[in-house]
Amino acid sequence: GESVGLHLPTLSVQEGDNSIINCAYSNSASDYFIWYKQESGKGPQFIIDIRSNMDKRQGQRVTVLLNKTVKHLSLQIAATQPGDSAVYFCAGVPNAGGTSYGKLTFGQGTILTVHP
């Protein structure tokens, strides 16, 4: 079955540094991935997504890279700010648009702490 995992449970950076959060997945049939940010007391907030026909996608200060060969994706946050401190989750969708019907499989999350 699908599983999504993270390499590091915590990441600590200085304000202004770039952050890289990694995620591995096991189901090669997954063709859609989403990164979420969850702050304390709130629900996960959509950051960026990527489909399997892409290697890279950029948003505002964020970039997601997908390496299908090694089943790995990463979230890069440029010029990290204290407001970026949160738990970051990657989520995968097997058979996106088909019979997955709303089922996201989440990794355990990485706690990002940004020091001023």
Partner 1 sequence: KAGVTQTPRYLIKTRGQQVTLSCSPISGHRSVSWYQQTPGQGLQFLFEYFSETQRNKGNFPGRFSGRQFSNSRSEMNVSTLELGDSALYLCASSPGPPLTDTQYFGPGTRLTVL
- E strand residue ranges, 1-116: 4-5, 10-14, 19-25, 30-38, 45-51, 56-58, 62-67, 72-77, 86-94, 105-106, 110-115
Tell me the backbone φ, ψ of residue 55, rounded to 5 degrees.
-100, -25
Write out the binding residues for partner 1, residues 20-59 only, by CB under 8 A: 32, 34, 36, 41-46, 49
* Residue from 104, 110, 112, 114 binding partner 1 (CB under 8 A): 104
* Residue from 64, 100, 112, 114 binding partner 1 (CB under 8 A): 100
3-state secondary structure of 53: coil
**Is residue 80 within 8 Å of 13, Cβ to Cβ?**
yes
**9 touching partner 1, by CB under 8 A:** no
Nearest to 68 by CA among 36, 92, 102: 92
Minimum separation from the CB atom of position 36 to partner 1 (A): 7
**107 touching partner 1, by CB under 8 A:** yes
Per rule CB under 8 A, count of chain residues that contact partner 1 = 26
**3 touching partner 1, by CB under 8 A:** no
* Residue from 40, 69, 99, 116 binding partner 1 (CB under 8 A): 99
- Beta-strand pair 86-94/4-5: unpaired
User: In the complex, which residues of this chain contact partner 1 (CB under 8 A)?
Assistant: 32, 34, 36, 41-46, 49, 89, 91, 93, 96-97, 99-109
